[in-house]
Amino acid sequence: MKASEKRAAASKKEPSAWDYLWYALYAFAGLGLEMVLLGLIEPLFLGNADGYGTPERILHWTLTILCWAAVIVLLVKSSRKRLHYDVRSSSRPSAGGICFSAVLTAACIFLNACDWGTLKIVGEFSRKGLLEFLFQYLYYAFEIGLVFLIVVFGQRFFEALLKKKSRVPFGGIVLCCTWGAIHILSRGNVLTGLGVMAFALIYGMLYLAMSRNTKAAFFAMLAAFII
């Protein structure tokens, strides 16, 4: 068999269920690139993060956004090519699913408000100038982009193992054990980490409630996170 034929045969090989878990972990590792920037790269020309002013914070968010955007594009394209799986879906959510998503999103917004003492988006804006606020919220959008991919690939992983679609928010469970759990270490607070883990489970529920529609699920997660 020629080398080109071998490559073609390899590209058509049925992906393993575990490949989807790896892609979820790649998305999680993509989030970790921010720590690489803060710990290794930015100190070379920006100094200690504790001393960042507005220009340094905006530059940090910009670099992080560029890294995250690159990871998102690479994973989406690679998934189509290597796993023959397109994470993008235009399936139409049901009226009941939309209502349930609205309730879940409102619950997240309420919990954020309890934590901040006001709406999170209002609290963030009051602590920052307009420019910082805009850049940070753009940064949040790309963070949720990777969070969304963890949910999608995590859900696909378990369903590939089960060989059927499931209404159990497995993607949220994977997100809970990765992005959620790491907040216990990054925030140094168990209660905060547990709260983020609870949000992660809700994001998995939002994905299913929105019938896996990419835009609807993403914007529901984003609203639940930023408002």
The 10s digit of each residue's pLDDT in 65-77 is: 999 999 999 999 9
φ, ψ (nearest 5 deg) of residue 105: -65, -45
Q: Is the pLDDT of residue 137 over 70?
A: yes
100-119: average pLDDT: 96
SS3 199: helix
Alpha carbon dihedral 221, 65, 69, 147, in 10-degree steps, equals -30
Higher pLDDT, 192 or 27: 27
SS3 87: coil
pLDDT band of residue 214 (cuts 50, 70, 90) is very high
Contacts of residue 27, defined as CB under 8 A and 6 or more positions apart, other chains included, come to 71, 72, 75, 146, 147, 149, 150, 153
For the ranges 11-15, 119-123, 147-151, the lowest mean pLDDT is seen at: 11-15
pLDDT band of residue 2 (cuts 50, 70, 90) is low
pLDDT band of residue 186 (cuts 50, 70, 90) is confident
Asked if residues 172 and 77 have their Cβ atoms less than 8 Å apart, the reply is no
The whole-model pTM stands at 0.93
Instruction: Return d(Cα 18, Cα 24) in angstroms, integer.
Output: 10
pLDDT band of residue 80 (cuts 50, 70, 90) is very high
Please name the helix (run of DSSP H) or strand (run of DSSP E) that holds residue 30, with its range, or none.
helix 17-31
Instruction: Return d(Cα 124, Cα 116) in angstroms, integer.
Output: 9
